[in-house]
Structures are given as structure tokens and as C-alpha cells.
């Protein structure tokens, strides 16, 4: 069988101009150059700093002084795992009554706001957070006179809010709200150091189910209260920036109570509680 091949007639160049193919190539080249220039301009555009807006949204435009003598923040320069980035807040000034941890570039920047119980003399709180992109991390401390003081660290990490859960979702559901309390030796006999760990997936709403490819609904711890007896050591209001299985290690001044009590709430109405004896309470 003879296969016939149709041939298109060659286009004649317009009189006095370049061939059509050359003009098309020139237009494509111009478009590519325009696109590259636009991309370069976008890359060179100054990035908008979210902090001024966060000061308005979270702190209602109250003046905030930079002052490391009141509060300090320890955070890694480059995180090993963006889904579990350790943060240590040190309350240098005993007059601090509240400390708010803000991860500027996260989808929900206010990671945790800690309110310190009167007389608890909390000196430090450690926790683990998700970091979604390279970002400043602020801690703003409020002292008893209502003044705000901040410190800031820059952390290199990305993808923490959408990182897959470490634990299987069924396993997480089976252990939802289980708590563990640990005590640590303290160099200061007048103080104690302890840790609370809460089993909870703390789903961010940005994670994808690997099987269904659907986003897992946000489900996270949003409130925690830690007490010695009936007296508050600290409370926490938080969101999706807290890592899976939220944990809080803290040092405090004992008041003679014989128990440590914890109550935690999540955004779906879950309430979880635990109580542990403190056998050497003073």
C-alpha cells in the first residue's frame, strides 16, 4: 500500500519582512524573557514581614519592648525535623505572668500562650512545635505591670505543618488523651522539674491521608491546665503549631501539695485529665 503524505504549502514571507517562523520565534523569545524578568522581579520583591500584623492581631497594637533580661528563647538555628522543633522559654524575670510563643510564618502563628500561676514561680517551659517555613520565632512576655517584652530567633525549617503524622491514625485514636507524668532531679532543692506528655495526633488540617489523598481534618489540643493541688502552675492556649503528642517540661516552686493534676481540651470537645502523687512534697 502506498501511503500518501500531504504536504503543506510553504508560507511566503510578507514583503519587506521576516519569515513567519522567525517572527514566531522572536515572539516566544520575548515572552520567555518577559516571564523570566517577571520572575526575577518577583524573587527580588521585598518579602512582607508578618510581625507588625501579628502585633495587631495578637497583642492589639500594645507596645512591645525588645528585652532579653525579661524572657529568653532557645531554639535551633536549623531544625533537624520541622515537625518537632524544640523550643525552650526561660522566664528570667519572676514578674512574668504570661509568655506567648509566636511562629511568624506558620498558618496559625500563635503556637502557645502560657499563663503562669501566682506563686508557682515557673522558671522555664519547654515544648515542641511545627515550623512551616523559614521564620522568625518570637516570645512575648507580659510582666505583672502589664508591660510586654519580646525576644526573637530565626529558625530554618520547612514543611512542618503538612508533614505526615508519625503515628498511625488508628493508633493515635486508640490512645487519644492518655497522659504521662515524669519527674526530674533538680539542682535547686527549692524547685522541681517535671514533664507532661499528652497522646494526641494534633492534626494540623494541612496533612494528607496517604491512602485517600484527602486532607485530614484539624484536630488538636487547644487548652491545658497544670496544677499542684488546686493551685495553677500554668495554663496553655495553643493550636496546630504544637507538635504531635504535645509535651511540656517545666520547672516550678512546690507549694506542699501532694498531687499534680492536668486537664487538657481539644478543639472537638475532647476533655482529658490525669493526676499523679508527689510523694516528697514539701
| Secondary-structure percent of the chain, ordered helix, strand, coil, rounded to 5 | 15, 40, 45
Using a pLDDT cut of 70, give the percent of the chain over it: 83
Number of domains forming the structure of the chain: 1
The pLDDT value recorded for residue 231 is 98
Provide mean pLDDT across the span 108-118: 97
- 29: confidence class by pLDDT, cuts 50, 70, 90: very low
Domain assignment present for 111: yes
Nearest to 137 by CA among 84, 96, 77, 83: 77
Residue 277: all three cell numbers together:
502523687
Q: Alpha-carbon distance 272 to 278, whole Å?
A: 20
CATH of the domain at 175: 2.60.40.2470
The pLDDT value recorded for residue 16 is 43
76 burial (CB, 10 Å; 0-12 / 13-18 / 19+) is: middle
Strands, sheet with 179-184, edge to edge from the N-terminal-most edge strand: 71-74, 85-91, 124-129, 247-252, 192-198, 179-184
Cα four-point dihedral sign 227, 230, 232, 237: positive
pTM: 0.82
How far the first Cα of the chain sits from its last, in Å, is: 103
Q: Is the pLDDT of residue 267 over 80?
A: yes
Provide mean pLDDT across the span 119-128: 97
Eight-class DSSP state of 279: T
Sequential DSSP letters for 1-24: -PPP---PPPPPPPTTS--HHHHH
Beta carbons within 10 angstroms of residue 232's beta carbon:
17
Domain assignment present for 24: no
Domain assignment present for 31: no
Domain assignment present for 43: no
Residue 157: all three cell numbers together:
525549617
Domain assignment present for 84: yes
Provide mean pLDDT across the span 76-95: 97
The pLDDT value recorded for residue 185 is 84
Domain assignment present for 103: yes
The pLDDT value recorded for residue 22 is 47
The pLDDT value recorded for residue 44 is 60
Q: Alpha-carbon distance 95 to 143, whole Å?
A: 5
Residue 97: all three cell numbers together:
505572668
Instruction: Decide the pairing of beta strands 221-228 and 124-129.
Output: unpaired
Which of 38-47, 116-125, 200-209 bottoms out in mean pLDDT, i.e. has the lowest? 38-47
Q: Is the pLDDT of residue 59 over 50?
A: yes
Query: Three-state SS for 276?
Result: strand
The pLDDT value recorded for residue 280 is 62
The residue range of the domain holding 155 is 50-277
Using a pLDDT cut of 90, give the percent of the chain over it: 72
Beta bridge partners of 215: 208
The pLDDT value recorded for residue 189 is 84
The pLDDT value recorded for residue 40 is 53
- 12: confidence class by pLDDT, cuts 50, 70, 90: very low
Domain assignment present for 44: no
Distance of CA 164 to the CA centre of its chain: 15
Residue 137: all three cell numbers together:
520565632
Domain assignment present for 265: yes
**Greatest Cα pair distance in the chain:** 103
Amino acid at each position: 500500500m502506498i501511503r500518501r503524505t500531504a504536504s503543506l504549502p510553504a508560507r511566503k514571507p510578507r514583503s519587506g519582512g521576516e519569515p513567519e517562523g522567525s517572527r514566531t520565534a522572536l515572539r516566544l523569545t520575548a515572552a520567555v524573557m518577559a516571564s523570566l524578568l517577571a520572575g526575577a522581579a518577583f524573587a527580588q520583591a521585598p518579602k512582607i514581614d508578618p510581625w507588625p500584623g501579628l502585633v495587631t492581631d495578637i497583642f492589639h497594637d500594645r507596645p512591645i519592648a525588645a528585652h532579653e533580661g525579661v524572657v529568653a528563647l532557645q531554639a535551633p538555628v536549623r531544625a533537624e525535623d520541622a515537625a518537632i522543633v524544640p523550643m525552650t522559654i526561660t522566664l528570667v524575670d519572676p514578674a512574668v505572668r504570661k509568655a506567648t510563643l509566636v511562629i511568624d510564618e506558620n498558618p496559625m502563628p500563635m503556637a502557645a500562650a502560657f499563663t503562669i500561676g501566682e506563686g508557682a514561680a515557673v522558671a522555664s517551659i519547654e515544648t515542641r512545635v511545627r515550623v512551616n517555613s523559614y521564620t522568625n520565632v518570637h516570645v512575648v512576655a507580659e510582666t505583672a505591670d502589664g508591660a510586654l517584652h519580646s525576644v526573637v530567633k530565626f529558625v530554618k525549617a520547612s514543611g512542618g505543618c503538612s508533614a505526615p503524622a508519625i503515628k498511625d491514625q488508628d493508633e493515635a485514636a486508640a490512645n487519644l488523651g492518655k497522659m504521662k507524668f515524669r519527674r526530674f532531679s533538680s539542682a535547686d532543692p527549692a524547685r522541681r522539674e517535671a514533664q507532661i506528655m499528652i497522646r494526641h495526633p494534633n492534626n494540623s488540617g494541612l496533612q494528607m491521608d496517604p491512602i485517600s489523598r484527602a486532607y485530614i481534618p484539624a484536630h488538636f489540643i487547644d487548652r491545658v491546665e497544670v496544677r499542684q493541688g488546686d493551685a495553677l502552675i500554668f495554663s496553655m492556649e495553643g493550636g496546630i503549631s504544637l507538635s504531635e503528642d504535645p509535651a511540656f517540661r517545666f520547672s516550678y516552686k512546690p507549694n506542699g501539695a501532694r498531687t499534680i493534676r492536668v486537664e487538657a481540651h481539644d478543639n472537638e470537645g475532647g476533655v482529658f485529665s490525669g493526676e499523679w502523687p508527689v510523694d516528697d512534697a514539701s
